[in-house]
């Protein structure tokens, strides 16, 4: 049974401190106190609080060690067999913010909203903040069931709804950036010159052209092995094709258009992979080149920057410009639905703007006289 102690305050009023103790084998395992202005309020609180503490497992739950959010993030990252590189980077970044030090059980929706405000104050856009909150929500969703860490997923959902209403988070803007032929001319010449200076460097001209004609992502390009090639049927097995609900084992046969097949056949069969290079190396080389050539200028919005993934947009849009139907375009890109495919579609002209493109002959035959 709880006890109530009355004490006179400095201002002359009486405060009633209600205290609850719980013992086990003679040792105090839980102590809690709260002060009220009226004795009846103190008594009412004792009755309510003791009823809560008498519920099965309540004391054990309260006596659990306070686990900080950072530990929950570590548990999540360590438990996932596969996790996207961007998602892992975001979660590790969240660990550097004050919210990561808070005890998991104490984090409420206002804490999450405050974290979003901190990201916005740091110059991040609502789309980026939305990604941060979305990745953090995955930790909240699994923490209780998987590791008995008291992160309240309902509080996260409340925060997400509030942030959306206040327009502090939003969905990522769809990239529609496609390279022009002039930009590609600059890039291809740049990397052709580099290949002469540094013969051991990655053959970026071939990789860029293959990225366009195959519509493959840079990570997919570097994973394709010679054993995945079905030359007889002009197709390639793309392993672990990116899909929101399936990160691993989503292996899909994708058509290789003649231009892409010609590039593949021009590669030496010296290693297991057709393009035995690291995706980060390709991305870094492409980024440096676009900056050096002035294609991407300082201050250019993210959605307007030319990135390697822009080549996928270019390749898929080209298929539609050439008259391919949705199923035939999807047979190349690997998309399962029109909703996921249409965001890559940006028809600007009719026909094939790469007809007679000199760089295709260069990357497949080495002939620069075209």
The domain segmentation of the chain, as residue ranges, is 3-63, 69-165, 181-365
pLDDT digits (tens, 9 = 90+) for 173-223: 666 789 999 999 999 999 999 999 999 999 999 999 999 999 999 999 999
Give the up-direction half-sphere exposure of residue 154: CA atoms within 13 A in the CB hemisphere: 2
pTM metric for this prediction: 0.63
pLDDT at 120: 94
pLDDT at 370: 46
145: confidence class by pLDDT, cuts 50, 70, 90 = very high
The more confidently predicted of residues 284 and 240 is 284
Nearest-angstrom CA–CA distance, 167 and 218:
33
pLDDT at 234: 96
Q: What is the pLDDT of the chain when averaged over all its residues?
A: 89
3-class SS of residue 203: coil
Nearest-angstrom CA–CA distance, 255 and 331:
6
* Alpha-helix runs per DSSP H in 148-247: 153-165, 181-197, 204-214, 218-223
pLDDT at 62: 62
- Residues 83, 75: contact at Cβ < 8 Å? no
* Alpha-helix runs per DSSP H in the chain: 39-53, 58-63, 69-79, 85-94, 109-121, 126-147, 153-165, 181-197, 204-214, 218-223, 258-265, 279-292, 310-321, 326-333, 338-342, 358-365
pLDDT at 243: 63
3-class SS of residue 251: coil
- What distances in angstroms separate CA 253 from CA 229, 276, 331, 332, one per listed residue? 9, 20, 8, 9
- What distances in angstroms separate CA 152 from CA 37, 53, 156, one per listed residue? 32, 19, 7
CA dihedral 153, 155, 161, 167 (to 10 degrees): -120
pLDDT digits (tens, 9 = 90+) for 56-72: 877 666 656 678 999 99
Q: What are phi and psi of 225, to 5 degrees?
A: -100, 160
3-class SS of residue 170: coil
286: confidence class by pLDDT, cuts 50, 70, 90 = very high
pLDDT digits (tens, 9 = 90+) for 311-321: 999 999 999 99
pLDDT digits (tens, 9 = 90+) for 234-270: 999 998 887 655 556 678 999 999 999 999 999 999 9
3-class SS of residue 225: strand
Token pair, residue 47, equals: 């009755």
Q: Percent of the chain scored above 70 by pLDDT? A: 93
- Residues 238, 264: contact at Cβ < 8 Å? no
pLDDT of residue 339 exceeding 80, the answer is no
Average pLDDT over residues 324-343: 86
The residues pairing with 68 across neighbouring beta strands, listed in sequence order, are 103
Contacts of 174 (CB under 8 A, 6+ apart): 303, 343
- Residues 312, 217: contact at Cβ < 8 Å? yes
Could you give the maximum distance between any two Cα atoms of the chain, in Å?
Answer: 99
Architecture label for domain 181-365: Orthogonal Bundle (1.10)
Nearest-angstrom CA–CA distance, 26 and 293:
76
pLDDT digits (tens, 9 = 90+) for 75-119: 999 887 677 777 888 999 999 999 999 999 889 999 999 999 999
Would you mind telling me the total number of residues written for the chain in this entry? 370
């Amino acid at each position: 049974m709880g006890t109530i102690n009355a004490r006179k305050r400095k201002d002359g009023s009486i405060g009633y401190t209600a205290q609850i103790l719980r013992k086990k084998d003679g040792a105090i395992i839980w102590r809690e106190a709260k002060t009220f202005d009226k004795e009846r309020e103190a008594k009412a609180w004792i009755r309510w609080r003791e009823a809560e503490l008498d519920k099965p497992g309540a004391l054990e739950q309260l006596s659990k060690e306070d686990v900080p959010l950072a530990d929950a993030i570590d548990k999540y990252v360590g438990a996932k067999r596969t996790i996207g590189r961007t998602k892992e980077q975001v979660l590790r970044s969240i660990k550097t913010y004050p919210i990561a030090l808070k005890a998991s059980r104490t984090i409420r929706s206002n804490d999450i909203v405050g974290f979003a405000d901190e990201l916005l104050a740091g110059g991040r856009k609502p789309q980026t903040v939305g990604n941060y909150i979305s990745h953090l929500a995955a930790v909240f969703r699994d923490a209780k069931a998987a590791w008995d860490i008291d992160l309240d997923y309902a509080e996260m959902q409340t925060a997400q709804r509030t942030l959306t209403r206040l327009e502090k988070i939003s969905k990522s803007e769809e990239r529609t950036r496609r390279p022009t032929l002039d930009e590609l001319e600059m890039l291809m010449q740049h990397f052709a010159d580099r290949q002469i200076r540094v013969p051991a460097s990655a053959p970026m001209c071939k990789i860029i052209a293959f990225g366009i004609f195959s519509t493959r992502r840079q990570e997919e390009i570097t994973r394709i092995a010679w054993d995945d090639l079905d030359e007889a049927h002009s197709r390639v097995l793309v392993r672990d094709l990116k899909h929101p609900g399936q990160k691993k084992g989503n292996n899909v046969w994708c058509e290789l258009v003649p231009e892409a097949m010609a590039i593949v056949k021009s590669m030496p069969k010296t290693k297991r992979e057709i393009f035995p290079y690291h995706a980060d190396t390709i991305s870094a080389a492409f980024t440096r080149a676009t900056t050096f050539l002035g294609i991407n200028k300082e201050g250019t919005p993210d959605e307007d920057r030319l990135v390697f993934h822009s080549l996928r947009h270019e390749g898929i849009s080209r298929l539609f410009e050439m008259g391919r139907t949705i199923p035939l375009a999807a047979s190349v890109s690997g998309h399962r639905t029109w909703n996921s495919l249409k965001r890559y579609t940006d028809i600007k002209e009719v026909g094939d703007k790469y007809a007679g493109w000199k760089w295709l002959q260069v990357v497949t035959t080495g002939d620069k006289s075209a």
